[in-house]
Structure 1
Amino acid sequence: MTIEEIIDLIAGLDGVLTLRPAPGDGSPEISWGDAFFYYAPDGVVPTTRQPFATIVTKDYPDDRSSRLDRPDTFRVNIAAGKEAFVERLGRAPREQAADEVDAGTADAVIAHPVYGGAGWLAVVNPGPRTGEVLRDLLRTAHDRARSSYRRGAEVRPR
């Protein structure tokens, strides 16, 4: 799957706000070229919620283990939640597996190298082995974000 195919898939889900930082838009330079996906049916970037998925195209200072500095390498990060995390990896998010997959392995579902303990999963360069799984995980993350938004909307003063 290409970055554009993934962006189109996520952007096609209801209520998704897609941010694609670029030069001149006031975003930090490190985020340029990446993509961030929020459930925000009002079109306003949430100030109290994280994105439910991101695509990163480069290493960040505290996150170099996926080696995204390799040519044509990117990683999709998904706020999958504990249930999906356990279903895909066979362990709880905060447990370390003895046979943990290298965070730079392409086309494999892995615990996010930094946020795995919070139930985030990741896929470097999704391909034939992970394409359908990735689609399912993104839908799950979207559903979770939508549910969280709706719960929050119910308690907000009008």
Structure 2
Amino acid sequence: MDQEEIIAFVAASGPVRVDRASEESGAPPVAWGDTFFTYDPGGQGGERGFGPFATIVTKDYPGFDTASDLDRPGVFRVNMAVGRVAFTERMGRSPAEYSVEGGDVDHAEIDRLLPHPVYAAQGWVSVVSPGPRTAEATRELLRLALERAVSRHRG
């Protein structure tokens, strides 16, 4: 899967706002090139009070998020807010357990479903450069992340 395929898949999944960070968008330079997916049922600019349910990150954020080694050529990471239940089902331990014991994961491994290197405790998972092993799971978890955003919006 490449970034454009993921963006097209998510955009076609429902009322989703796709924001690509750039100088023109007013995003900080460190985020330029990254993509943010927000539930946007009324086409009014995203969930009010809610952040993205998924992102595509294209580079390391120095001093904050470097574990995935995203500065390698052609490498990107898909991040998905799947929640505690799905996180535990997929990772074999809860987000809380991961945040305490998380040192045994190679976050730079390509095409493997992993706990998010920074936001695992909040129920986020990630895949670095999804490929044949993770393409279907990535689509499934992107759908789940959107469903969770819809549920939060409905309250």
User: Which of the numbers 64, 76, 79 marks the counterpart of 1:77?
Assistant: 79
Aligned-pair identity in percent equals 50
The structure with more radius of gyration? 1
TM-score (norm. length: structure 1): 0.91
Question: Unpaired segments of 5 or more residues in structure 2?
Answer: none
CA distances 1:121-152 after superposition (whole Å, capped 9, x unpaired): 0000000000000111000000000111111x
Structure 1: 4+ residue segments shifted above 2 A: 96-101
* Partner SS, residue 94 of structure 1: helix
Aligned partner of 1:51 in structure 2 is 52
Corresponding residue of 2:88: 86
CA contact (8 A) 2:60 2:71 kept: yes
Q: Does residue 102 of structure 1 match 2:103?
A: no
The superposition leaves residues 77-115 of structure 1 with CA deviations (integer Å, 9 ceiling, x where unpaired) of 000101110111110011135783300000001000000
- The equivalent of 1:120 in structure 2 is 124
RMSD over aligned CA atoms reads: 1.4
Measure the CA separation in 1 of the matches of 2:106 and 2:27.
31
1:65 to 64, 67, 79: 67
Alpha-carbon shift at residue 24 of structure 1 (Å): 2.3
1:50-70, Cα deviation, whole Å (9 max, x unpaired) = 100000000013000000011
TM-score, with length taken from structure 2: 0.92
Q: In 1, are the aligned partners of 2:47 and 2:153 still within 8 Å (CA)? A: no
User: What is the CA–CA distance in structure 2 between the aligned matches of 1:8 and 1:125, rounded to whole Å?
Assistant: 16
SS in 1 for 2:118: coil
Cross-structure match for 1:42: 42
Which has the larger share of helix?
2
Matched to 1:51, the amino acid is P
Rate the CA distance shift 1:98–1:112 in 2: closer, same or farther, 3 A: closer
Match of 1:133 among 129, 134, 137: 137
Alpha-carbon distance in structure 2 between the residues aligned to 1:122 and 1:20: 18
What is the CA–CA distance in structure 1 between the aligned matches of 2:136 and 2:32, rounded to whole Å?
27
The count of corresponding residues between Structure 1 and Structure 2 is 151
CA contact (8 A) 2:16 2:46 kept: no
